[in-house]
Chain A
Amino acid sequence: QKEVEQNSGPLSVPEGAIASLNCTYSDRGSQSFFWYRQYSGKSPELIMFIYSNGDKEDGRFTAQLNKASQYVSLLIRDSQPSDSATYLCAVMFSGGYNKLIFGAGTRLAVHP
């Protein structure tokens, strides 16, 4: 059974702090990893994707991948109230032919 695990939260952080969202996955052969943001009542919006071990930065967002530990994370620097949303981790498992398995999502609340 291929699984993607996320803490459901809510993760509450003060405005301006770093929010750290974590995700683990079960298939060691997985190659592609994605983070989506979903506001209440809206569709998932792609934030970041990462294919290689290490860090990938895009503005206030950093994705971190550790394939040996089967762990991927998303850091949001200088968190803003507008970042309050559910963050979905998605993994493309080996042999999955572009099929994504989504975690249940972590709800982030940034308070002023």
Chain B
Amino acid sequence: DAGVIQSPRHEVTEMGQEVTLRCKPISGHDYLFWYRQTMMRGLELLIYFNNNVPIDDSGMPEDRFSAKMPNASFSTLKIQPSEPRDSAVYFCASSLGTGGPQHFGDGTRLSIL
């Protein structure tokens, strides 16, 4: 079975540019999560969705970050404008049902110059 699919795997862009990260959850999963991982702060939850509806976005660092889930098989995380401190690995994860284990995608390594 296909796992969580993220694109792109790597993104290098200049400060001020818009960045869009994409995620396809495991088919049938009803929860989708966006995380950011850095050496300093570890793995942080940014936002998560249940049945395409955002449930908790308290981890979104600021208004430059936005996330959408237009349907059950696709989500985007957008950063506009990007800044060097946004450089990190961004993971998408999905899970099924309340309390179900989360399965992670391979991540997007983002570098903002």
The interface of chain A, by Cβ under 8 A from chain B, is: 31-32, 34, 36, 42-46, 49, 51, 88, 90, 92, 97-105
Contacts and interface: CB of A to CB of B under 8 A. Distances in A.
A99 B47 CA distance: 9
Contacts, number: 46
B48 interface: yes
B34 interface: no
A102 B41 CA distance: 11
Given A98-B48, A98-B50, A105-B42, A44 B100 contact: no
A97 B31 CA distance: 10
A99 B56 contact: yes
Interface in B13-62: 31, 33, 42-43, 45, 48, 50, 55-56
